[in-house]
Structure 1
């Protein structure tokens, strides 16, 4: 047994299985995959990686399993290994490339059966009698014990919220995960939170709300990540990048490939390198554009071309970013009271109002180089039929 010092959780114990899994090249790659993509352009300290997050998730999973008496040692060993490997399927810059990898390979980051079933990881799992198939199911939350890793409230969320808050420096990552873990238990094969953990569960959802607003959906993060994903897709379409190999790359590999690109991808890479980012020509909420805008998600090229034609600019200078509708799966977590089990949003009136708050914070964007902002903004408002906002007057104006 050895220990490593983590800035978030303190000392983390590593047994022989964990040490051998960490030594595989597939896990070592995660040292070079940033957890928050391009968020370091907003928060300079956000350079932490999927590697230390994986260690943190394994640590929290081990803590939770100490409180569970219904799981045998073999399953606990499987879950410890699965928690360490749960992000091994992430591509470079984490979620920045996930939709592109899914589009071309039909694999999400938690589709890891193929990765676990070959190479050095398979050798380690075979050595300790661990089933790669079982681990893959645990990672996707398809087993009872897998809910610890992937469910409405899980150790993955607990770690990334606290860790991301720590490295960005924002003050919204106060999650009482120790209390929450101590109040979690299995009941009828469901991972539930006891009544005594309600306030801790509330703290997790409040943290998630503020982190979404301040970090995950910050407009500079959205712009830079849209530029990166556009560059990557342009390189794939031009035959400069193999989508099958993208998932095995790390951030350094991808940046090097982008810099070599002779097309639009290369120009976007140079802008990202020098932080010469596109600007917001339009940035609007659902009250201004309506839910019908969601029909363009995942197929924005038509509206980008339409906006470009109206504005008289090159379509490559237009990026339309339409996030998915906000959802809080954590609200479905079950709270076990003395008499019954109820969803978290029914157990807590305070939490029930957060979903609407998420909706209010939703924004879609149209991004373009600074010199085109006025023309593109005017064209985008016409294309999306943006409703005029009511002007607010100061008392002194009346």
Structure 2
């Protein structure tokens, strides 16, 4: 019941995606409860003790508490990732006093980071965080790609002798469906072309608010979606104009697309420094004789399975999932 936790009731899970999928009004609070629930189920399946299960429930509940208004939409305009803010809230807020009655705050942040024996449950290639958001996002957008068999997946995970979570042979298909769900949800929902346009427009608006000191980044952890919208609506100039455009769905149009495959090093392009992007936008605007804020170069968020480490228990010992599954092998290429 803390202010920090209740704020998540008013922070949408998918930001402005409801402009494209009208049902996508679910929140970070709901997702946090769902992650808590799945963390509890998987912990019991793994045979963990009750105090550890309670600890992991807390981690599941708090793992996203540092998200700014509009979640990942805002994050690309900020200096600090939500994981960093989450750690700060867990260590230095009213929540700290509550959790430290029984648990160590620093240990909780390590688990949320995916470290320690228990961190794999909250943050890994097959973690309860991803399981929940794929199912939840699929349900509220009406996109069927995110439907996965969580029951089979949860009951197919176990610890090996080195305390690494591995997959039993029976869970291979469930793991495949989970990874495929993530693969298909990216272009269909998370990176939908209209979603990217709306998100990019709002990021420019937020950058303006930050640059003009209308909003301080450190204060965003106290604000919800409605707070930030009201600030933008009442700020003359670009912020107010952006909100009017979003209200009337008067969106920017895509004028050109460049295929990343045409570049020698696509990852370098995706991770290009923000200052270089801004310079490119300004140059294009100058050549077209329009205002710099009317040009946006939007780079896609990278989705890669190359570094994925999931091992499967087979009759011939542990094998990488990509060695057992041709589907997963294709995803890694």
TM-score range, shorter chain: over 0.9
Q: Which has the larger radius of gyration?
A: 1
1:140 to 113, 124, 148: 113
Give 1:26-45 correspondences, 5 Å limit: 26-45=4-23
What TM-score results when the alignment is normalised by the length of structure 2? 0.93
Contact kept, 8 Å, 1:152 with 1:330, in 2: the verdict is no
What TM-score results when the alignment is normalised by the length of structure 1? 0.78
Give 1:231-380 correspondences, 5 Å limit: 231-288=205-262, 291=266, 293-294=269-270, 296-299=272-275, 300-328=277-305, 331-356=308-333
What's 2:155 paired with?
A: 182
- CA shift at 1:49, angstroms? 0.2
Contact kept, 8 Å, 1:57 with 1:84, in 2: the verdict is yes
Q: Which structure 2 segments of 5+ residues have no match? A: none
**What SS is found at the alignment partner of 2:30?**
helix
Give 1:16-95 correspondences, 5 Å limit: 23-69=1-47, 71-95=48-72
What's 2:83 paired with?
A: 109
**What SS is found at the alignment partner of 1:196?**
helix
Q: Which structure 1 segments of 5+ residues have no match? A: 1-22, 357-398
- CA shift at 1:355, angstroms? 4.2
C-alpha distance 274-329 of structure 1, shift in aligned 2 (>3 A): farther
Contact kept, 8 Å, 1:111 with 1:140, in 2: the verdict is no
Answering whether residue 171 of structure 2 is matched by residue 197 of structure 1, we say: yes
Q: Distance in 1 between matches of 2:185 and 2:9?
A: 23
Contact kept, 8 Å, 1:297 with 1:323, in 2: the verdict is no
What's 2:104 paired with?
A: 131
CA-based RMSD of the aligned residues comes to 1.8
Q: Distance in 1 between matches of 2:114 and 2:120?
A: 5
Contact kept, 8 Å, 1:172 with 1:207, in 2: the verdict is yes
Give 1:150-189 correspondences, 5 Å limit: 150-187=123-160, 188-189=162-163
Larger RCO (CA under 8 A, 6+ residues apart): 2
Q: Distance in 2 between matches of 1:243 and 1:117?
A: 18
Answering whether residue 85 of structure 2 is matched by residue 99 of structure 1, we say: no
Contact kept, 8 Å, 1:30 with 1:51, in 2: the verdict is yes
Q: Distance in 2 between matches of 1:151 and 1:342?
A: 17
**Residues paired across the two proteins, number:** 329
Q: Distance in 1 between matches of 2:270 and 2:152?
A: 39
The one-character-per-residue Cα deviations of 1:111-148 (angstroms, maximum 9, x if unpaired) are 42321223431232134x12211111111111110110
Answering whether residue 195 of structure 2 is matched by residue 221 of structure 1, we say: yes
Q: Distance in 2 between matches of 1:295 and 1:67?
A: 39
- CA shift at 1:288, angstroms? 4.8
